[in-house]
A and B are shown apart, each in its own frame.
Chain A
Amino acid sequence: MFGYVRPFRPELKCKDFDLYRATYCGLCRCLRRRYGLIAPMLLNFDFTFLALLLWEPEEGFTPCRGRCHANPLRKLPMCPDSPALELAADESVILAWWKLRDGVQDEGPIKGLPARALSLLLRPAYRKAARRCPTFDGTVRDCLAELSALEREGCPSLDRTADTFARLLQSAAPREGERGRVLAQLLYHLGRWIYLADARDDLEEDRQSGRYNPVAARYGPAGDDGALRLTMDNSLAQMGAALQLGDFGCRTALLENIVYLGLPLVERAVFDGTWYHIKKQKIWRNDT
């Protein structure tokens, strides 16, 4: 998606760092095994977070060793396939596909060419994923369609536009029982927060190209960082409150690190403009 959802490394315990990395690598492997060689391209931090959330709390952390997709000579610890990873993998394919379709429609026939080519490549994977999660597929399609309609009419309500993406992400977790309610609340506000962070990040670019931007539509072309930040913080607070009510077993500390430290720092970076440098960084540049 966007890569906004990251842990804050200095405060991670080693075991939580290993857990994060193995989940990330496990998701990569799961994508490759389910959807072929180009699918790991879709790997990102946001869906790693989703996989961590979806994991059954009783299930411990027992990594296996597997070959790295980027460098097959290396063997790394990674989480073996599990329902949580599979769901996260299916959903990242679906979301990537619809975002590509969106790009094809938004751009002209020439500028949209890369997106078109990519979506052609991804088509078989998407069809497989859509068969596996038909409900999520439908929700993503509807929510993105709703979002582009709101964008076309220049909707001035921040909440209404963010709501479409929030509901999209909300549907990524099964809505059953208490756990389902907790996840729904958490993911709703995560989606809202991601959407707003992305809108703030694009503010300058959209202003230059004259595109619609929800932050500009709500607060004027210069935006209002104080107000926007407060409303994003309110979503973070709701996420924290929801997180405390769920049982996440051995993944609790890692999830808390992401929600209480990682997201606020990313938010700060988006507002002061340093995010641009951070988001491009490679993830695991270590030689272990």
Chain B
Amino acid sequence: MRDPYSVLGVSQNASDDEVKKAYRELARKYHPDNYQNNPLADLAEEKMKEINEAYDTITKQRSGGYSGSSPGSYGGYQQRSYSSGDPVYANIRNLINMGDLNQAEQLLYEVGQKNGEWYFLSGSIAYRKGWMDEAMQNYVRAVQMEPNNMEYRQALSVMQRGTMGGYRPAGYSTGMDAMDCCTTMMCLNCLCGGGRC
């Protein structure tokens, strides 16, 4: 296993607070919410596991071998799993999770009656492929047909947030919204083009 301190990117003699801060930042970065239905979700999960282990190891070492669940740990994050009543849809969900999109798409086309879940799954496949426009249209349809379904609404709201959701490193998170028209113009001139440097 890698040195837990280098996993968190802090030095051996960092204070407890610094360790915690570094851990929190990384946990925010690799949080499963940022990688929902993302083809790279498994990589994010691995990273999350790695930093959780590193943080646990450090807290254990520092508390003199006391083993207990560490306070700030995001430890047992449970992936919200939704299940499907229909076995065909359950199968399709499985295929999507495994990344077998062609097979999932084919099974979905064989389903005769299109309900909210059909559109939701169709949207999920499109989203995974990176076909964001189609994903959006399908999610909208799904929510229209079953407005009370939290799963569909959540998927749609993630897309409606655009770049405002998800993780951004410190320093990149603010500013863009607050800019008025005039500042934008000034900034645009600075896109590695205008003026001298």
Binding between chains A and B: yes
Q: Does B61 contact A (CB under 8 A)?
A: no
Interface-lining segment among A53-61, A67-75, A184-192, A200-208: A184-192
Let me know if A283 and B172 touch, CB within 8 A. Answer: no
- The 8 Å CB contact of B130, one of A182, A235, A278, is A235
- The 8 Å CB contact of A233, one of B30, B162, B169, is B162
Let me know if A245 and B44 touch, CB within 8 A. Answer: yes
With both beta carbons as reference points, the residue of chain A lying nearest to B34 in the complex is identified as: A241
Let me know if A234 and B132 touch, CB within 8 A. Answer: yes
Q: Does A218 contact B (CB under 8 A)?
A: yes
Q: Inside 8 A of A188's CB, which chain B residues have their CB?
A: 130
Q: Inside 8 A of A264's CB, which chain B residues have their CB?
A: 163, 176
With both beta carbons as reference points, the residue of chain B lying nearest to A45 in the complex is identified as: B192
- The 8 Å CB contact of B196, one of A157, A235, A256, A286, is A286
User: How many chain B residues touch A (Cβ–Cβ < 8 Å)?
Assistant: 44
Interface-lining segment among A7-15, A78-86, A101-109, A147-155: A7-15
Let me know if A236 and B163 touch, CB within 8 A. Answer: yes
- The 8 Å CB contact of A17, one of B172, B196, B197, is B197
User: How many chain A residues touch B (Cβ–Cβ < 8 Å)?
Assistant: 57
Let me know if B187 and A182 touch, CB within 8 A. Answer: no
Q: Inside 8 A of B38's CB, which chain A residues have their CB?
A: 185, 238, 241
Top 9 closest pairs, chain A to chain B, by CB: A233-B162, A281-B193, A159-B131, A260-B172, A234-B132, A233-B163, A158-B133, A231-B132, A9-B190
Measured CB to CB, the residues of B under 8 A from A are 29-30, 34-35, 38-40, 43-44, 47, 126, 129-136, 159-160, 162-163, 165-169, 171-172, 176, 184-185, 187-197
